[in-house]
Amino acid sequence: MPNDPDFQRRVVKSALDLLGNDDTPVLVDYTEEAPATAKSGDEGEGWVCPISLPAQVKDPKEETIAEALSREIAELAPWYELAVQKSGRTTVGSSGFDVSAAGEFIVSFLSDGIPDSPIEGERVDRVLKWACDDLKAYYYEAILAQPGGPSSLDLDEWFFGQTTAGSVFFGVQKVLLDNDDEIIQFVGKERLIPRNQQHWSPLD
């Protein structure tokens, strides 16, 4: 349970108290349920993203998907910066890219196929996974700082179903699945899209 120090403390204390047992093995349930939160998905009401993002691609003749992704990242920037200011931290940073560079690297798979790894000594599919994690974290943090807390499922549905970034992920997934390298195929199948979001796939 995030941002609930009292609940967290009770859980940790309960775990450490088990060490006082003389009789073993010790395997007990923690019976206190996590405090209820006012996540919109819990009530069955559709969550609406408070940040209004324009159409994914304005007009294919005027804007490439790479340009649309870049525009979307830029539009989220003020919200992301506000989130970082509020929390004092960000979880973006596994890949070592800034988020724009991460987006450019990911979307390059759609036009150029599998590129060379931009990090010497690392497989390109690993770098892709880290870049995808960073891009996703950037989007999620931007939204999590907004009032009206969405559930994690709301966020997944929004990211994979309504954003340009989500559609880029599905496009990259197809590129990976079409590749002959079994590891790259595996990354495409298992490492980019959560199982509960595959229903947005244009391949289905």
Which residues in this chain contact other proteins in the complex, by CB under 8 A?
1-3, 5, 8-9, 11-13, 15-16, 19-20, 22, 24-25, 29-31, 33-34, 87-95, 126, 129-130, 133, 137, 140-141, 144, 152, 155, 190-196
Tell me the CA distances in angstroms from 108 to 67, 73, 75, 154, 171, one per residue in order.
Answer: 11, 15, 20, 28, 11
- Under DSSP, the state recorded for 44 is T
Minimum CB distance to other proteins, residue 58 (Å): 29
The structure tokens 């006082």 sit at: 20
Residue with Cβ nearer other proteins (79 or 140): 140
Q: 33-47 burial, b if ≥16 CB within 10 A, otherwise e?
A: eeeeeeebbeeeeeb
Q: Which amino acid is at 6?
A: D
Minimum CB distance to other proteins, residue 66 (Å): 23
Give dist(CA 28, CA 5) in Å, integer: 22
Residue with Cβ nearer other proteins (25 or 60): 25
Residue with Cβ nearer other proteins (69 or 136): 136
Residue with Cβ nearer other proteins (18 or 74): 18
Give dist(CA 80, CA 138) in Å, integer: 7
Residue with Cβ nearer other proteins (70 or 94): 94
Minimum CB distance to other proteins, residue 44 (Å): 17
